[in-house]
Amino acid sequence: MENPAEAQAGALAESQAAPQTQDLPSPHLTPDAVPVGTPLAWPIADSDGTLLFASGAILATTDERKFLFDNFHPHRGDLLDTATQPESQTDHPADTTGKLTLKDMHLTIGALIGIRSQLGSGAPMHPCRIIGFAPNQALFVTPPLQDGRILPLSLGENIEIVAIASHAVFRFVCTVEAVCRAPFDYVVLSKPGVVRRLRERKSIRVHAHLAVRFGIGETGDSYEGLGLAKSISALGMSLTASWTLGAVGERLRVAFCVKSAELQTEIQTTAVIRNVQKGSAPGEPSTHGLELDQLDAAQQMAMKVFVFDRQDDVQYWSNGLK
């Protein structure tokens, strides 16, 4: 028969030898875990680490809390793995005014470009893709297509090219150096001539899903709520919020993060309300057309990168001709 004292001592030794575990709270939040009308004890972040509400912020109404969970995946920001959270980058140097080269454009294999004859100003651009670069900066591209057929190009012909890179749109001229049929169809273009950076059109707007913190008025140190930008341009956005934020002509403070393959920037600026579409029923969100009116050079570049990375390139060049 086992000695009770020995059994108790053995159980104690096993418990001390076993690894001690402690259940950590889950970062995932439920609506019941988020208070309304009282300051938050911790920050709320989206699942990718994007800050939605800072610690101490107050959700004013249950409608605002419902909007938060309907449009995002709220987590406790203090419990998210910091290694997965995005790092803010606000210092992106402006481009110099010197002569731009092929290297400065940061074009990549597979990049979509548009081509048209230099003689045909006003003609639509025809899409093709970059398939290689030569040491002398010549370009290898797929033949441009017109109505599904290869566009005829002549040796020595000068052609105009629009290239949408990761951070800007460029226009330049090349000379057709070779039109090859074997081992497959491709075209060799000369080193780009004078490269010009193009400005983006205000009318270009792309779909988005950006968390935007907002504050009422042009001045202030905190943000009163959270909205969702469903579309965005280089100079503005369509912002949906759980309540109407102001009248046309009034100003807001906004903060959000834009990310692309090469750039991630936290933007804090002011915006003018240009139009308002109120919800059709009580409790339905309102949509606001905002113009961002105080972007610095780095913020303007970040906005353009975001739009360029998502726009329909062919539609941009040819006004809808596919």
Q: What is the CATH number of the domain that holds 245?
A: 2.40.10.220
Residues 192 and 220 in one domain: no
Residues 302 and 211 in one domain: yes
Q: Which residues contact 268 (CB under 8 A, 6 or more apart)?
A: 253, 254, 255
Question: pLDDT digits over 57-107, tens only?
Answer: 888 888 889 989 998 899 998 887 643 444 333 333 334 335 888 888 888
Question: pLDDT digits over 130-177, tens only?
Answer: 999 999 999 999 998 777 788 888 899 999 888 866 566 788 999 999
Residue 30: exposure state from Cβ atoms within 10 A (0-12, 13-18, ≥19): exposed
Determine the pLDDT at residue 90.
33
For residue 267, the enclosing domain spans 205-313
Higher pLDDT, 317 or 48: 48
Is 95 within the bounds of a domain?
no
Mean pLDDT, range 250-256, rounded to an integer? 93
Q: Which residues contact 312 (CB under 8 A, 6 or more apart)?
A: none
Is 77 within the bounds of a domain?
no
Residues 177 and 267 in one domain: no
Determine the pLDDT at residue 310.
65
Number of separate domains in the chain: 3
Contact 53, 35 (CB under 8 A): no
Three-state secondary structure call for residue 199: coil
Stated pTM of the model: 0.52
Is 88 within the bounds of a domain?
no
List alpha helices for the chain, DSSP H: 4-17, 62-71, 102-105, 297-308, 313-318
Across the chain, mean pLDDT equals 78
Residues 118 and 158 in one domain: yes
Is 91 within the bounds of a domain?
no
Nearest to 54 by CA among 62, 46, 44: 44
Q: What is the CATH number of the domain that holds 169?
A: 2.30.110.70
317 pLDDT exceeds 60? no
Residues 167 and 226 in one domain: no
Contact 242, 66 (CB under 8 A): yes
Put the strands of the sheet holding 75-76 in their side by side order. 51-53, 44-45, 75-76
